[in-house]
Amino acid sequence: MITATALSNNVGLAVEGIDLSRPLERAVEDQLRTLWLEHGLLLLRGQCRTVAEQIRFSRTFGELEIHPLERIRHKDYPELIELNSADEQTNPTASWDGEDWIGRLGWHTDLIYSGKPNLGAVLRAVILPAHDGQTGYADRGAAYDTLPDSVKEEIADLEVVYRFEVNLYRMPYLDTSGYLAGPGAPDKPSDVGFPDFPDSVYPLVIPHPVSGRKVLNICPMFLSHIRGRPEGGGDPLLQSLVDHVTDQRFSYHHSWKRDDIILWDNWRMMHCAPGIRPGDERLIHRTTII
Ligand SMILES: [Fe+2]
């Protein structure tokens, strides 16, 4: 029998009673899909032991993406990518508040800059660092629900523009106070083997593509401006929405243990990675649901 317990701040559920070592029954799959869409995040502690189990579990929720960057694909399972802290291109070292960190990433929604965010994703920590290495998740649905009615009215018909950048200093609503780029920090997309993307425009309040649930479509990375209003940062309305969505009452930070697996809804939740310290090591396996 499945039991589900709310994680801190009601951000997602810890689900128990699932055995991923064998195929799930249809009724269990249906139940998990419903919980995923209702709560935005499911954590299964210590339940996923192999790459094949992760892929089978992920397929319960949709088709899986074959990542365009071949070098990070698993050599036997192309629908799974390996995020390795030793890969300096995807895990640059940078200084934050005077200390070096590897692979730190601010709050973001995957692929929001492309105009086609993936529906969800699954992470499994394979090599755990000795310290740090958490993943943070924040519920942009709950952030919308708790806005004052006057703000909901003000933003109801606005559109928001996301712009692809790899240089953090050019993300006007990402807090880069205390940030000092490392020597290998990328400046343009081609520096990390990415194509460029044209701006993407979305409703500021977006109906979830499957559930229809309203989501405050704000995340600090890649956020450029409200359509028709000034670019370059400093829009008081946008800054107040960034401050709201990043308030800690909407977030849960997971400290990984061996064989933990997390599935999240990428349209609703944003996520972040505080990173690890130099000398430490971390390997994450990821599948992407499209
Ligand atoms: Fe991400």
- For the beta carbon of residue 80, count every other beta carbon within 10 angstroms: 23
pLDDT at 235: 98
- β-strand partners of 6: 13
> What is the token pair recorded at 131?
């310290």
Q: What is the CA radius of gyration of the chain?
A: 19
Q: Is 178 exposed, middle or buried (0-12, 13-18, 19+ CB in 10 A)?
A: exposed
Task: Give the separation between CA 80 and CA 41, rounded to whole angstroms.
Answer: 19
Distance 273 CA to ligand 1 centre (A): 8
Instruction: Look at residue 25 in the predicted model and tell me its pLDDT.
Output: 96
Structure-token match 């559930």, residue found: 211
Assign 3-class secondary structure to 228-287.
Answer: CCCCCCCCHHHHHHHHHHCCHHHEEEECCCCCCEEEEECCCEEEEECCECCCCCCEEEEE
Beta strand 251-254 pairing with 135-139: antiparallel
What per-residue confidence (pLDDT) applies to 58? 98
Cβ neighbours around 147 below 10 Å, total: 19
Report pLDDT for 87.
Answer: 87
Question: Which pair of tokens denotes residue 100?
Answer: 């070096």
Spacing, Cα 137 to ligand 1 middle (Å): 10
> If you measure from the C-alpha of residue 266 to the centroid of ligand 1, how many angstroms do you get, rounded to a whole number?
9
Nearest Cα residue to 237 out of 198, 204, 190, 273: 204
- At residue 143, φ and ψ (nearest 5 deg) are -60, -40
**Residue 265's domain is classified under what CATH number?**
3.60.130.10
Rounded CA separation 272/44 (Å): 19
Give the distance (Å) from ligand 1 centre to CA of residue 265. Answer: 12
Looking at residue 70, its pLDDT comes to: 86
Amino acid 28: pLDDT: 97
User: Which segments in the chain show pLDDT lower than 70?
Assistant: none
Q: What residue numbers bound the domain in which 101 lies? A: 3-289
With vertex at residue 227, the alpha carbon angle to CA 221 and CA 230, rounded to the nearest 5 degrees, is 80
CB 2 within 8 A of CB 31: yes
Give the Cα-Cα-Cα angle 146, 114, 116 (nearest 5 degrees). Answer: 65
Q: Into how many domains does the chain fold?
A: 1
Q: How far is the CA of 289 from the centre of ligand 1 (A)?
A: 13
Strands 80-84 and 283-289: antiparallel
Q: Write the CB contacts of 181 (distance below 8 Å, at least 6 apart in sequence).
A: 92, 94, 167, 168, 169
Query: What is residue 101's predicted lDDT score, i.e. its pLDDT?
Result: 96
Residues with CB under 5 A from ligand 1 (ion): 110
The pLDDT value recorded for residue 183 is 85
